[in-house]
Amino acid sequence: MTEYFEIGQIVNTFGIKGMVKVKPFTENIEQFGELEKIYIKNKNGKKEYKIQEVKYHKQMVLIKFEGIENPEDADLLRGSYLVINRKDAKPLEEGTYYIVDLLGLEVYTDEGVLLGKVDDIFNTGSNDIYVVKDKLGKQVLLPGIDDVIKKVDIENGKIIVHIIPGLM
């Protein structure tokens, strides 16, 4: 499993005190307020920052980092990703998974047919959609609902799905 994973991306600056505007990659944006530190990852590598303040605005997270004191400093972080160590992450409820742990898992039907590997997961508002690609690049979109996703086995690297009529 991945030791570090992305929980958001800095998309802009905010205000005159060096705050950044973050697009969260998590449903529970309140978890940002529980963090004391975070890593910022960009083309220059990964660097730890202490969090001074967290606010929420229109499904975005506004963060003030120690040492970032003006919009010019904050602008240098634009496009960077916010990364946390897995041990600092909030435990998930049973039956929920970090997307990073699902990417690359092989997807089999309940009849044993290999459909491909999980290439991406996105949310439509009502449920997640699993993008499964085969070796030829053909995509299958599977809704992340109990009728379709039957078993997720991260340890063995596979997901078992049931193909309901009309899905493919």
Q: What would the pLDDT profile of 38-90 be if each residue is shown by its tens digit?
A: 999 999 899 999 999 999 998 899 999 999 999 999 999 999 999 998 887 77
In this prediction, residue 1 carries a pLDDT of 63
- pTM recorded for the entire structure: 0.73
What is the average pLDDT across 16-39? 91
DSSP codes of every residue in 26-92: SS-GGGGGG-SEEEEEETTEEEEEEEEEEEEETTEEEEEETT--SHHHHHTTTT-EEEEEGGGSPPP
- Domains annotated on the chain, with CATH: 4-86 (2.40.30.60), 99-161 (2.30.30.240)
* pLDDT tens by residue, 118-150: 999 988 878 899 999 999 999 999 999 999 999
Give CA–CA dist 112/60, Å, rounded.
42
Q: How far apart are CA 156 and CA 147, in angstroms?
A: 22
